[in-house]
Structure 1
Amino acid sequence: MKRIDLILMKLKEKKDLDSSGISASEIAEELNISRANASNDLNKLVSEGKAIKSKGKPTLFMAVDEENVPPDISVINKFSEVNPSLYSAVEQAKAAILYPPNGMNILLLGETGVGKSTFAGLIYKYAIEMKVKSEESPFITFNCADYANNPQLLLGQLFGVKKGAYTGADFDKVGLIEKADGGILFLDEVHRLPAEGQEMFFTFMDRGVYRRLGETDSERSANVLIITATTEDPNAALLKTFTRRIPMVITIPALRNRGMEERFNLIKQFLLEESGRLGRSITVSINSIKAFLSYNCENNIGQLKSDIQLACAKAYADFLSNKKDAIKINSLDLPSYIREGLYKEVEHRQLWNKLIDINKRYFIFDKDEDREIFEENATDDNIYEMLDLRTNELKARGIKGVKLEEEIERDIEDYFKKYISKVDMSNIKNIIEKDVMNVIEEVIHFCEEELEINLDKKINYGLAVHISNSIDRIRRNKKIVNPKLSSIREEHRKEFNVAVDALKIIDRAIDVNMPIDEAGFIAMFLSYNYGSLKYKQNDVLVIVIAHGVSTATSMADAVNSLLGTKNVVGINAPIEEKPENILGKTIDYIKKNEIKSDILFLVDMGSLTTFGQEIENTFNIKTRTIPLVSTLHALEATRKSMMGYSLDEIYRETLEVNSLYEENALEHKQEKEEKRLAIVTVCTTGEGGAKTLKKLLERNLTFDKKLLDIVPINLVGKESIYERIEKLSIKYEIICFVSPFELEVQSPQFMLDQIIDGQSTSGMQKIIDVEETYLKMEDTLENTLENSDGRTVLKHIKKFIKNIEEELKTNISTNILIGITLHIAAMIDMSIEKKTIIEFEGKDKYIKDNLNLYKIVKNAFMPINTKYSINASEEEICCLMNFFNPRI
Structure 2
Amino acid sequence: MVKRIDLIATKLKELGEFNKEGVSASYIAEELNLNRANVSNDLNKLVNDGKAIKTKGKPTLFIPVLEENVVSEVSTINKFSELNPSLYSAIEQAKAAILYPPNGMNMLLLGETGVGKSTFASLIHRYAIEMKINNLEGPFITFNCADYANNPQLLLGQLFGVKKGAYTGAEADKVGLLEKAEGGILFLDEVHRLPAEGQEMFFTFMDKGVYRRLGETESERHGNVLIITATTEDPNTTLLKTFTRRIPMVITIPTLRARGMEERFNLIKQFMMEESGRLGQSIKVSINSIKAFLFYDCENNVGQLRADIQLACAKAYADFLSNRKDEIKISSLDLPSYIREGLYKEIEHRKLWTKLIDINKRYCIFNKDEQGVIFEERTNDENIYEMLDLRTRELKREGINGIELEAEIERDIGDYFKKYMNDFNDKVDVTNIKNIVEDDVMKVIEEVIMFCEEELGIKLDKKIYYGLAVHISNSIDRMRRNRKIINPKLNSIREEYEKEFNVALDALKIIDIKLDIDMPIDEAGFITMFLSYNYENIKNKQNDVRVIIIAHGVSTATSMADAVNSLLGTKNVIGINAPIEEKPKNILEKTKEYIREHEIKSDILFLVDMGSLTTFGKEIENLFNVKTRTIPLASTLHALEATRKSMIGYSLDEIYRETLEVNNLYDNDILDYEPEEEERKLAIVTVCTTGEGGAKTMKCLLEEKLTFDKNLMEIVPLNFIGKENIYERIEKLKRKYSLVCFAGPFELDVNYPQFMLDDIMEGTCINDIQKLIDVEKTYIKMEETLERQLKNIDGAMVLKDIKKFNINITEALDVNISTNILIGITFHIACMIDRLKEKVIIDEFEGKEDYIKDNFNLYRIVKNACASLNTKYSIIISDDEICCLMNFFNNKI
Give the alignment's TM-score, normalised by structure 2. Answer: 0.42
Higher radius of gyration, 1 or 2: 1
Q: Which has the higher contact order (CA 8 A, sep 6+)?
A: 2
